Structure 1
Amino acid sequence: MRTDVKHFLCRIEDGIATVSLDRPERKNPLTFDSYAELRDWFRDLHYSDAVKAVVFAPNGGNFSSGGDVHDIIGPLTKMSMKELLAFTRMTGDLVKAMVHCGKPIIAAVDGVCAGAGAIISMASDLRIATPEAKTAFLFNRVGLAGCDMGACAILPRIIGQGRAAELLYLGRSMTAEEGNAWGYFNKVVPAED
C-alpha cells in the first residue's frame, strides 16, 4: 500500500495506516488534489493486505476545516455545470471509497471538524473525539446543499433524522459532548490519549 502520497500524510505500522491532512496552519483544509488522492488511496486500500485498519487522525490540534476557501469554495462559483458535476462526483467517490474499502476506519477528531472534514469523520466506522472537538456540516453556509457527499443519507442513520436535520439545515457546530450523547462519537477521550 502506498505511503508516498503528496497531498496528505500517511504511515503504515503493524497493519495500521495513520492518515491525516497536512496543512495544520490552515486547520487542514482539503484541496482538489487532496480529495482526488484520498479517493484513489482508499480505492486502492480495498486490495491491500498490508493494512488491516485506518486511523484518520488530526494534525496540529484540528481534524479538518473542510474544503479550502481559496482552492475550492472560491473556484466553485466560477465553474461550469459540467465542472461542478465532476467535482461533486469526485467528493462523493471519496465517501464511497471509504465506505467500501473493506477496512475499519477510525476518525480521531480533535478541534475543528467542518464541512468535508465532518463528512470524512461521518464516513468512518468509528469516531473518537477529544473534548475540544467541534463538528459542523457547513455546506449551506457556503452556498452548497446540505446533502453533499452523502450527508443526508448517512448522518440520520447515525444520530437520527431530527438531529441530522438540525445540523444540516442550520450548519451549527456539534460539541463533543453532544456528539457523544447523540451517538455520533463512540467515545470522548483527552487529546493525549
Structure 2
Amino acid sequence: MFNLRKSSKISNVSLDYSLLSSEQIRMIRMNVENALKKDSFILMVTSPDKDEDEALLSSKLAIAFSEQKKRVLLVDANLRNPSIHSLFAADNTNGLANAVSQGKKMRMYTKNTFIENLSILPAGTVSENTPNVFVSRNLEESLNGWTAEFDVIIIEAPAFLERSDTQIVAEHCDGIVLVVKANKTKKEKIVKTKSYLERAKKSIVGVIYQTG
C-alpha cells in the first residue's frame, strides 16, 4: 500500500510519494491549518475534471493530521469509483452511501485503521438511491454527527466539474484542496472551478500541483 512513486509540489514544496508520511505532507497540513485557523474543520480534496490520485493524497493528509493526536475521519465520497477502502485493506460493503441514504448513524459504518486516531468511512454500496444521497437532508445531518466526534474530516471527492455530487458536498466544507496535474489539467478548467468556489464563498486552502 502507498507505494506509488510520483513527484508533486504545493507552492515550492516537493512531494515524494514513496514516503508514507513525509515532512512535505506535514507542510501541506500546516498550510491548511494556517489558512483555516480552526481547531476542527471539514476539508475536501478534489480535482477540476479528472481524478488525480486524490485518494492517495487524502490518505496522506489524514495520516499527517492524526499524528497531531487529532481525531481524524477520512471519507470516501467517490461513490462511483471508490478506493479509500482498498488503501486501508477495509471492506466496502457498507459506508457513506448506506449511512446517508438509509438515515443511519455514520458510526455504524466507520472503520478504525492501523493508524492511531484515524478512522475511515468507505463509499459503501451503490444502489438505485445513490443519485439522491447528496441532495438528501440526511447528508447535512450526517456531517453534523461527524463534527461532533472528529476534529478533522477529510472528504475525498470526485472531479469537481464532472460530478454535481462534489459541488453539493463542497457547500458543507470549510476548505478545498485542489489537485491539478502538469500538462494534463487544462487552465480553463482550473479557472472555472475556482470561479464556482468563489461564488459559493468556499476557500481553496491549497493547490497540489503534480509534475509526474
TM-score by length of 2: 0.34
TM-score by length of 1: 0.37
Larger relative CO (CA 8 A, sep 6+): 1 or 2? Answer: 2
